[in-house]
Each structure stands twice: as structure tokens, then as C-alpha cells.
Amino acid sequence: MTEFWVMGGYARFVWPCFALAAGVLGWNLWSARRYYAAARVRVQRAIAMAASEQS
Amino acid sequence: MWTWFYRLASPPHVYRVAAFLAPWLLGAAAVLIGYGVVAGLVFAPPDYQQGDAFRIIYVHAPAAWLSLFAYTTMAVAGAIGLIWKIKMGHAVAAATAPIGASFTLLGLMTGSLWGRPMWGTYWAWDPRLTSELILLFLYVGVMSLRPAFEDPGRGDRAAALLAIVGVVNVPIIHYSVSWWNSLHQGATVAKLAIPSMPGSMLWPLLSMLAGFMFFYGAVLCMRLRGEVLNRERQATWVREAIKT
């Protein structure tokens, strides 16, 4: 098992690459969801403002 | 016959299709990336020259490939928006830019980590590395240019123009290893007829490539929905869609 983590002496290059990849995939998912959620909130605010102006 | 194509210009249709596709694409990406990571890290044998350091290819090559694919998509979408004045073209281009930029950065960073043990340096002004760095600058330029205009329409057109001009860099990146003397290795996956790798190394790589592509599709759909809402927030259909 230790042999696997050591990666033939290249662990300090291999594992950071996979960690960076996981980070980029995670960031993309998080930021895409956040972007959509923020756009939704903006529309909801616009609807609420329009409703309050009418009443 | 072309009805499906024309419907892609309709924001409500794009919004609905993106909502339907995103979870399926994400599921496919999870399966393919999961297989690729396990097979690439555990089952693929070490390379006879590079040892276990070669395993970096399983994240580096898909990231680099995606950086080119996303840029080409952005340029084509921008051209569609510019030439045919289809708003969804600009929306796709805007949604693609941050995804492509993040994968370009990942390609550069993983390449740098691969370069250290193989070439003895994290960075060299090599044609492949330099042209990939220019690609990152182009992404940043496109992302910065769009909001730099008060009129969003002008921002879209300026960004599309820069994306189209910059697309000349894509073949330069791809062929840089053939056109100039380069530290970077030549094509590995592009020549499937004469594979440079045995199947135990190649299949995880192909799985990772496909997984990253599906992931890109999923994230693009998610971002595109936000982009459509931002651009169409005054439209009646958006207000009805959000209310329900």
C-alpha cells in the first residue's frame, strides 16, 4: 500500500496534479451553481420589486 | 429537418434543454472520471521511461484537450452570435470562457509539475507551453472585455471578435510540437491507428478525456441557464419559469 502512495518516488508531483484537478472540477461545479443561483435571486428580486410597485 | 437547430436560438428552449441535460452529463462524467482515476492510478503499469510520473497524463492531457475544445466552442459560438445575431451564441461563449480558462490553468500547472521531474524545470519557453500560456491570456482577455462595455451588446461583439481572432492560436498549440523543436512530447492519443500506449494505459486516458468532456457539457449547461436568466430577466417566460 505504501508503494502506491509513494508513486515510485514521484508522489510530490503526481498527487498535487490529481488534487489540483479535483479542485478545478469542484470549483467549476460550485461556481456554476452559484452563478445560476445568483441569477435566479436577481430575477426573484425584480419580480418582487415589480409586485411592490403595482400594489 | 433543421427545426431542432433553429430552436437552439430560442432562450426558453435552451433553458429547458440545459436543465434536462446537466444531470445526465454530470452522471456520465462521474462514472467515466471515476473509472479513469482508478484504472489510471491503480491498474495501469508504470511507464518504462517515466515511471509513475507518467500518471500525470490522466489529468494533464484531458485538461489541455479541453482548453482547446472550449476555446474553439467559444469562438464558434461567438461567430454565430456575431454573424447571425443569435443571442444564445453570445450566451454560450460567455458561459464557456471561465470553464475553458480554469482547464487551461490546470493544463499549465499539471504540465509544470510533470516537467520538473522529466525536463528538470517547472517552466521553459517552449513553443507548446508558450502558446498554451497565450491561450490563457486570450481567455482572460475575452472574460475582461465583455463587462468592460456599458452596452452589453457591444461587450458581446467585442468579446466574440477577440475570441475569433484568437482561434488562430488553437492549431498553433496543436501542431507546435511538430512545427518547432519542442521539449514537449509528440501526439500520443491523436494517432489511434498506431497507438503509442498499450490498452491498459490508453483506456483510462480515453475514459478521462470523455469524462472531462461530459463534465464540461454539464457545467456549461448549468452556467448557460444562469446566463440565460441574466440576459432575459425582463422576459415574461423567465418570470413565469422562476415563479413555478
The ipTM is 0.92
Letter string b/e over residues B14-38, b meaning 16 or more CB atoms within 10 A of that residue's CB: bbebbeebbeebbebbeebbebbbe
Asked if B88 reaches chain A (Cβ–Cβ under 8 Å), the answer is no
CB B201 within 8 A of CB B209: no
Task: Chain B: give the shortest CA distance to residue A50, in Å.
Answer: 11
CATH node for B13-41+57-243: 1.20.120
Phi, psi for A31 (deg, rounded to 5): -70, -35
Q: Give domain limits for chain B.
A: 13-41+57-243
User: Which residues in chain A have Cβ-Cβ distances shorter than 8 Å to B122?
Assistant: none
Instruction: Indicate whether B192 pLDDT > 60.
Output: no
Q: What is the pTM of this model?
A: 0.92
> Which residue, among B14, B18, B24, B58, has the nearest Cα to B204 in the 3D structure?
B58
Per-residue DSSP letter, B47:
B
- Min Cα–Cα distance to chain A from B232, Å: 9
pLDDT in tens, B82-102: 999 898 999 999 999 999 999
Chain A residue numbers with beta carbons less than 8 Å from the beta carbon of B226 are 32, 35-40
Angle at A34 between CA A28 and CA A37, to 5 degrees: 140
Q: Do A13 and B113 touch (CB under 8 A)?
A: yes
Q: Which three cell numbers stand for residue B82?
A: 456575431
Is A4 near chain B, with CB under 8 Å? yes
Encode pLDDT of B25-58 as tens digits.
Answer: 999 999 999 999 999 999 999 888 888 899 999 9
What's the whole-number average pLDDT of chain B?
Answer: 90
Q: Which of B205, B203, B201, B223 is nearest to B25 (CA)?
A: B223
pLDDT number for residue B3: 77
Q: Of B4, B14, B170, B23, give the one whose Cα is nearest residue B91.
A: B14
Least confident of B104-118, B156-170, B179-193: B179-193
Is the predicted pLDDT of residue B193 greater than 70, yes or no?
no
pLDDT higher than 70, residue B190: no
- Cβ contacts of residue B233 below 8 Å, gap of 6+? A39, A42, A43, A46
| pLDDT the model gives residue B7 | 76
Asked whether the predicted pLDDT for residue B189 surpasses 70, the reply is: no
Q: What are phi and psi of B51, to 5 degrees?
A: 65, -140
B239 and A14 within 8 Å at the Cβ level: the answer is no
- What pLDDT does B119 receive? 87
User: Which residues in chain B have their CB less than 8 angstroms from residue A36's CB?
Assistant: 222-223, 225-226, 229
pLDDT score at B75: 97
Angle at B180 between CA B176 and CA B184, to 5 degrees: 60
- How confident is the model over A5-32, as a mean pLDDT? 95
Q: Which residues contact B196 (CB under 8 A, 6 or more apart)?
A: B187, B188
Strands (E), B12-104: none
Indicate if the pLDDT at residue B20 is higher than 60. Answer: yes
B42's enclosing H/E stretch is none
**pLDDT of B108:** 96
What pLDDT band is residue B241 in, cutting at 50, 70 and 90?
Answer: confident
> Per residue in B106-143, pLDDT tens?
999 999 999 999 888 898 898 889 999 999 999 999 99
Torsion of CA B130, B115, B189, B200, to 10 degrees: -170
Spatial neighbors of B123 by CB under 8 A, at least 6 apart, are B112, B115, B129
